[in-house]
Amino acid sequence: MKIALAQINYHIGNFENNEKKVIEAIHKAKNSGADIIVFAELAISGYPPRDFLEFDDFINKCDDSVNRIAKECFGIAAIIGAPTKNPQVKGKNLFNSACFLAEGKVIFKHHKSLLPNYDIFDEYRYFEPNTVFNTIDFKGKRLAITICEDIWNIGDDLLYVGNPMDELYKQNPDLIINIAASPFHYEQAERRRIKLKQNVNKYKLPLFYVNHVGAQTELLFDGGSMVLNSQGQIVDELNYFKEDLRVYDLEDIERPSEISKTKKPSKIALIHDALVMGVKNYFNKLGFSQAILGLSGGIDSALTMVLAAEALGPDNVKGVLLPSQYSSDHSVKDARNLAENLGSPYETISIENAYNSFSQTLNPIFKDLPFDIAEENIQARIRGVYLMALSNKFGYILLNTSNKSEAAVGYGTLYGDMNGGLSVLGDVYKTEVFELAKYINRKKEIIPNNTIIKPPSAELRHDQKDSDSLPEYEILDEILFQYIEQRKGPKELINMGFDENVVKRILKLVNTNEYKRYQTPPILRVSPKAFGMGRRMPIVGRYLA
């Protein structure tokens, strides 16, 4: 038996586009001699469709699309993910299903049993869990079809009581097929490999795994679909961050000569590729082509501009220099040098006159109070107004340049530098920003070296440095990582050797600035615990505040 894996970049709710790609893949696989082609979880709708699933019209369109695709399945079968209706009165109205298509029709549906309801996932909000387990026979082979989470309840840390594959294994299958929607973070690919190997080692069956690729707003899918033989060896992995289609002979995958020896990319390389794909897909799927951002001469805006230029092309990314009386000459020079290195257009608009006008208007009301954060935020908001004006006038999407360290402690101005249609670096700590900059410059200097080595500064007052308000980023980021990603409390952090006063101050900053993060643009997710849909905290909570 020959099995094709189709790794496709779907577009949520774009049935015509998704259907076209699926049918093209079916024909290509058939021409390559495949007996069956496998697509990803909820491929028909795109993942995650969220509350679109509450619309009857949306579900009917899914049904119609599945039936049209089935009519293309003569001489080849297909497995494809789709939401399907639950005919029972009791329970949720929908199943998350894998539809088996052959002879021009839907001949079998397998429903997902384990519905994740943690971090970014909320599948139990929409779907009824499956309780009936059946394999399907095809061309002399018995297939155990599973859907993403259904093979993850294995190992030492079990989240669910049951294991669907245990039930399917009782029917003596010949292979496991898993269709998935497994979002990217920089540890996820290795976690998937481990889980898949654990399944093969337990059941002694070959496993064919298909994942999504592409970005759906903040969720990024890295692909990495793979085939494992019955010995637990990874025979092949499909491309990361790209569409792919490959055909495998079930007998050939057991031969040692076919074993994949793909070199695993570094964490920073993965983050880089994920962010470029995220920006590109966000623009393409919304129908936009041009970006704009404030170019300060600092490392965050420089990195954002480079990533956007890679995603959209240098001509489609415009940098705007917005110097004030507090901007250093070298920052302005660094910003210009970056734009020229990229070949991207840029403008310079001084905010000094606008700031002076605001100051004159507010001086009688501010009375004799000293210069403080109010005046600093006025500068940031003037810049935000100018950038949004250009966005409105010319149809650019404004890119937010704040990093995760800043977002965590509220080191940013609402309606100022926190503006934007997309946050590119909002899940990247400042120390990782520096690593990414060095990665980009690995072959030649694109980001000016001075931008990388100078002390970070918001330049909202004379001689300002980030370290005036925050611990050094090496310390800050480690505390933030242990608190946000690892969920370590203050006592645990202090026991790890961090200064007690610094720990209490930083955790208070994180929790009291939740209101700011509720108002930020979508953040491209690259870590195991990103701000946004995957981290839900109360604004008015008093814990550690």
Q: Report the range of poorest mean pLDDT among 197-211, 248-262, 346-360.
A: 248-262
Burial classification of residue 389, based on how many CB atoms lie within 10 Å of its CB (0-12 exposed, 13-18 middle, 19 or more buried)? exposed
Q: How confident is the model at residue 298 (pLDDT cuts 50, 70, 90)?
A: very high
Q: Report CA-CA distances (Å) from 282 to 297, 488, 528.
A: 25, 33, 21
Q: Report the range of poorest mean pLDDT among 42-51, 174-183, 251-260, 373-382.
A: 251-260
Task: Kindly report the average pLDDT of the chain as a whole number.
Answer: 95
Q: Report CA-CA distances (Å) from 313 to 216, 283, 306, 307.
A: 20, 12, 10, 10
**Tokens representing 13?**
């709710």
Is pLDDT at 459 greater than 80 in this prediction?
A: no
Is pLDDT at 229 greater than 60 in this prediction?
A: yes
* Rounded Cα–Cα distance for residues 454 and 266 (Å): 26
Query: Which pLDDT belongs to residue 401?
Result: 97
Query: Which pLDDT belongs to residue 327?
Result: 78
Is pLDDT at 22 greater than 80 in this prediction?
A: yes
| Rg over CA atoms, the chain | 26
Question: Count of CB atoms within 10 A of residue 369's CB?
Answer: 10
pLDDT 10s digits, 238-289 = 999 999 999 999 999 988 665 556 678 899 999 999 999 999 999 999 999 9
Q: How confident is the model at residue 44 (pLDDT cuts 50, 70, 90)?
A: very high
**Tokens representing 85?**
């209706």
Phi/psi for 248 (5° steps) reads: -130, 140
* Rounded Cα–Cα distance for residues 188 and 525 (Å): 12
- H-type alpha helices, 164-229: 164-169, 188-203
Closest C-alpha to 225, from 214, 211, 207, 244: 211
Catalytic residues: 41, 112, 148
Query: Which pLDDT belongs to residue 48?
Result: 97
Residue 4 · residue 36 · CB < 8 Å: yes
* Rounded Cα–Cα distance for residues 405 and 466 (Å): 11
Is pLDDT at 442 greater than 70 in this prediction?
A: yes
Give the neighbor-by-neighbor strand order of the sheet with 226-228: 136-138, 141-147, 175-179, 207-210, 226-228, 234-237
Query: Which pLDDT belongs to residue 351?
Result: 96
Query: Which pLDDT belongs to residue 264?
Result: 82
Is pLDDT at 75 greater than 80 in this prediction?
A: yes
Query: Which pLDDT belongs to residue 330?
Result: 79
Mean pLDDT of 455-477: 81
Angle between helices 352-366 and 373-394 (to 10 degrees): 140
Q: Report the range of poorest mean pLDDT among 19-33, 53-67, 262-276, 300-314.
A: 262-276
Reading phi first (left if > 0) and then psi (alpha if -120 to 50, else beta), residue 151 is in: alpha
Query: Which pLDDT belongs to residue 326?
Result: 82
Query: Which pLDDT belongs to residue 256?
Result: 63
Closest C-alpha to 235, from 210, 255, 212: 255
Query: Which pLDDT belongs to residue 542?
Result: 84
Closest C-alpha to 528, from 234, 184, 243: 184
Mean pLDDT of 65-90: 97
Is pLDDT at 408 greater than 80 in this prediction?
A: yes
Residue 263 · residue 255 · CB < 8 Å: no
Mean pLDDT of 487-515: 97
* Rounded Cα–Cα distance for residues 434 and 138 (Å): 53
Domains and CATH numbers, the chain: 2-263 (3.60.110.10), 270-466 (3.40.50.620)
Q: How confident is the model at residue 76 (pLDDT cuts 50, 70, 90)?
A: very high
Query: Which pLDDT belongs to residue 462?
Result: 74
